[in-house]
A and B are shown apart, each in its own frame.
Chain A
């Protein structure tokens, strides 16, 4: 059974550019959540999607956006990149969205903004 797949694994971008990260959830999982992980702030919730609808959003600026497709795959986009956006971006999918069970993470995309 394939796990959560995130692409690319590593990315280097220049300040001011935009970036799109991809997440393929475990087959059958309909909920996809995104997190930003930095040494200083830890794991911070970005947003959660279920059946192509954003149901929850963390306290991030509007430069951070996402979407989910009908096959449950999800993308997140960061526009006008800032140095502080350098982080590990993690995606997690889950099956039972009502109870939070089965929350499985991918290995993340390491974004470096220079």
Chain B
């Protein structure tokens, strides 16, 4: 199968602090990127997306930054809350491959109350 990595990086942050989760994507032809949040026992949930013609997009408490030069994506969560504890996946999608979405290995975020 197509996947990246075997080990799940972990990030621990204090409640109220900002979190930054990083992701390196694999294909320079990818033109659409998505961040997902997966809580235990649930499927991945859409957080925010960004197209390759943008370098920044903001949502509610979340910001995604895209650096195409180094194929890097980051998710910033402001004022992290205990409910933000989950595994976060970045995903890339190539328009020419329709809905074939390739996921990164994920990052486990733990929020310390």
- B-contacting residues of A (Cβ < 8 Å)? 4, 31, 33, 35-36, 39-46, 48, 50, 55-56, 58-60, 90, 92, 94, 97-101, 103-108
* Given contacts A43-B89, A59-B2, A100-B32, A107 and B41 within 8 Å (CB-CB): yes
Name A43's contact: one of B3, B6, B32, B93 (CB within 8 Å): B3
- Chain B's interface size range is 20 to 34
Q: Give chain A's interface secondary structure class.
A: strand
12 A-B pairs in the complex with CB atoms less than 8 angstroms apart: A42-B105, A43-B44, A43-B106, A44-B103, A45-B100, A56-B97, A90-B43, A90-B44, A97-B98, A99-B95, A100-B101, A105-B45
* Given contacts A41-B3, A45-B1, A100 and B45 within 8 Å (CB-CB): no
* B92, closest chain A residue (CB): A100
